[in-house]
Amino acid sequence: MAQPHDWCGEPPAASDGLEGHLSLGQIGHDFARRDARLARRAASLGMTRREFLASLAASAAGMLALADARAAAAQGLPAKSRVVVVTHPEVIVKDYRANPPVVRRMLDRALVELTGRETEGQAWASIAREDDFVAVKHNSMGAPTLHSHTEINDILASALAKEAKVDPKRILAVDRQLPPPYADLSEPFTLPSSHLRTRLRRLYTDQATAIINVSVLKAHFSEGISAAMKNHLGSVNNPAAFHGWEPDRMPKSLPELSALPPIRDKTRLVIVDAIRPLYAATFTDHPDYRWDFRGLIVATDPVAATAVGMRILEKQRAVARGKAWPMTAARQMVAWGQAIGLGNAQADRIDLVQADMA
């Protein structure tokens, strides 16, 4: 079974004793009260009581997520974000090559854990619909050894076609070089903090109905991070205008870019390739700062996925330096992502699950 990992703190201790002993009369009253509350919830959603119960029973994860969402809403907070870190000792074949069957098993496991579905097929089918046009935004920068593994793209296309019944012709894996008409530019968007004007590729604004964000886990100029939010610099016409890890530049502009409606509303899945991350150096590869983590970070929240990736890098940086080596700019970025409501960055707002497939 997957277990919560200590990157986001220790799980709460279980209660040592039994609580809430009730008499038979009290139990009957309690059931009646709960049943009335369920009926009210169902009515507020335009559902019958039976439909509401069926939706809750779809998965234990769904039930927990609903409870957490209601508790968070009462406090004015976003619901917790689930992030799955799945690792496998045999995912690397040689050098930077990944093992496709192992990657497929890792993604199967991650999606089951993420979605709470009973089977791998059901989990994949929850990511896309038959009528979707899916844009897989991967990262080809830093090739041949510092890009997201292309094996992931192939597996996504195969699984979505088979399990979600998406037409293979409507699944497009792209980075910065897009064929027409997908490369055409949208009307300009203006980012709130910097007032930077940028244009998205029309693939994301007009054609795609679903986006899967496939990035790579690496430090960027040591203090910043290249992961889910930075990945969409490959989706705009002016990526150079964003660069700079000063507090008022990329730490704010990258979350605001990911919060643009065409990206935020269409993103169905976030995958951060952490098979062989880079924990320091600049934006280029450096063998002294690589290690074989052999993992994938899978979520629907780009802020939470990036925050978890950052903590993985910071843990390795501390090992290398022998003391804490924080990624200051990366911390500012994920904090701003949470501040603008894009996702969760704080450890106690992330439901982190580790699936070690050793």
| pLDDT tens digits, 49-74 | 555 554 544 443 444 444 454 555 55
* pLDDT of the residue at 52: 53
Q: How far apart are CA 32 and CA 77, in angstroms?
A: 30
Q: Is the pLDDT of residue 201 over 50?
A: yes
* Amino acid at residue number 341: G
What average pLDDT does the segment 178-183 reach?
88
Q: Which residue has the higher pLDDT, 239 or 9?
A: 239
- Find all residues with CB under 8 Å of 123, minimum gap 6, and list them: 108, 111, 112, 114, 115, 117
* pLDDT of the residue at 65: 47
Q: How far apart are CA 138 and CA 285, in angstroms?
A: 18
What average pLDDT does the segment 169-186 reach?
91
Angle between helices 150-163 and 100-115 in degrees, nearest 10: 60
Is 0.85 topped by the overall pTM?
Answer: no
- Ramachandran region, residue 76 (left: φ > 0; alpha: ψ -120 to 50; beta: rest): left
- CA 188-193-198 angle, 5° bins: 20
The helix/strand/coil state of 210 is strand
Q: How far apart are CA 74 and CA 108, in angstroms?
A: 34
Domain 81-356: give its CATH code: 3.40.50
| pLDDT tens digits, 309-324 | 999 999 999 999 999 9
What average pLDDT does the segment 169-184 reach?
91
Q: Which of 76, 122, 72 is nearest to 350 (CA)?
A: 72
* pLDDT of the residue at 71: 53
Tell me the three-class secondary structure of 268-336, residue by residue.
EEEEEEEEEEECCCCCCCCHHHECCCCEEEEECCHHHHHHHHHHHHHHHHHHHHCCCCCCHHHHHHHHH
| pLDDT tens digits, 25-54 | 444 454 456 556 666 776 766 666 555 554
Write down the domain spans for the chain: 24-74, 81-356
Q: Which residue has the higher pLDDT, 20 or 332?
A: 332
Mean pLDDT of the chain: 85
- CA 307-309-311 angle, 5° bins: 70
Phi (first) and psi of residue 71, to 5 degrees: -65, -40
Lowest-confidence segment of 31-45, 216-230, 278-292 by average pLDDT? 31-45
Highest mean pLDDT pick, 3-7, 12-16, 277-281: 277-281
Q: How far apart are CA 49 and CA 194, in angstroms?
A: 48
- Tell me, what DSSP letter sits at residue 118? S
In the chain, alpha helices (H): 24-44, 49-57, 60-74, 100-115, 120-125, 150-163, 202, 250-258, 261-264, 302-321, 328-339
Q: Which of 221, 205, 236 is nearest to 333 (CA)?
A: 221
* pLDDT of the residue at 116: 96
Please give the C-alpha separations between residue 59 and each of 34, 55, 163, 299, in angstroms, as whole numbers. 20, 8, 19, 17
Q: Which of 1, 8, 95, 99 is nearest to 297 (CA)?
A: 8
What average pLDDT does the segment 286-308 reach?
95
* pLDDT of the residue at 24: 44
* pLDDT of the residue at 57: 43
Q: How far is CA 153 from the centre of its chain?
A: 16
- CA 162-160-297 angle, 5° bins: 135
